[in-house]
Amino acid sequence: MTEEQMLAGSIKHDAVSQEALYNRYSPKMLGVCYRFAKNREDAEDMLQEGFIKVFTQIHQFRSDGSLEGWIRRIVLHTCINILKKNKKFNESVDIIHANSMYSREEMIPSIIEAKQVVECIRSLPLGYKTVLNLYALEGYSHKEIAQLLEIEESTSRSQYTRAKAMLQELLIKKKIIRKSLKGKTSVGV
C-alpha cells in the first residue's frame, strides 16, 4: 500500500489503512519515544498515545512536508506532554552534579556504538535527558525547548551543558570513550 493510499484510507477511518500506516512508522516512532521514556513499557505507552493523536488529527495533514515528519512531531509532542504532566523540568536539575561538571563540544566521537550511547542518555536525569534529546537529536532551539517545556531558556541551556558533561562522564565510566592526559576524549578500546 502506498503512503497516499494509507493516508486517504486513514482519513476515512479505514482500519486496514491505519494498520498499514502504523506498521510502517511505529518502529521509528518507538525509537523517538524510547529516548524520552524510563523503560520500554513507558515508550510503548507514549507511542500508543501518539498514534491515537495521529489518527484523530490525520485529516489536518496538509502535505507541506513528509508524512513521517508530521507523525514524528505529533509523537514528540505527545512524549513531551506526558513528561510535563508527570514531572517539573526545573526540579529535575541534579544540583549535586552541577558544580563538578565541565563541558566540551568534542565530547562524543562520531564513531560510537549507538545503542550504548542511547542507554547512557536514558540514564540521565529527566530534565537533562529531555533537553539533550530535543536540542542535539531533534534540532530544537533552546528558545523552542523553553516554550515546549515551560521553562526558562537559560534553564534549557544549563541543562544541555550539564547533560553533555554528565553523558561524557558516563561514557568514560563505561569505557566507551576515554579521557587522555590532556583532558580530551577519544574512543575507548
Q: How confident is the model at residue 162 (pLDDT cuts 50, 70, 90)?
A: very high
pLDDT for position 179? 64
Instruction: Give pTM, 2 decimals.
Output: 0.70
Residue 163 has φ and ψ, to the nearest 5°, of -65, -45
Of 12-16, 91-95, 126-130, 154-158, the one with minimum mean pLDDT is 91-95
How many other β-carbons are positioned within 10 Å of the β-carbon of residue 141?
A: 12
Query: Who's near 130: CB < 8 A, 6+ residues apart?
Result: 36, 80, 83, 89, 149
> Of 46, 139, 147, 131, whose CA–CA distance to 94 is shortest?
131
pLDDT for position 86? 79
Shared domain for 46 and 109, answered yes or no, is no
Shared domain for 82 and 94, answered yes or no, is no
Task: Determine the structural domain holding residue 178 and report its residue range.
Answer: 90-187
Is pLDDT at 17 greater than 60 in this prediction?
yes
Domain stops at, among 34, 61, 86: 86
Number of domains composing the chain? 2
Domain stops at, among 57, 86, 115: 86
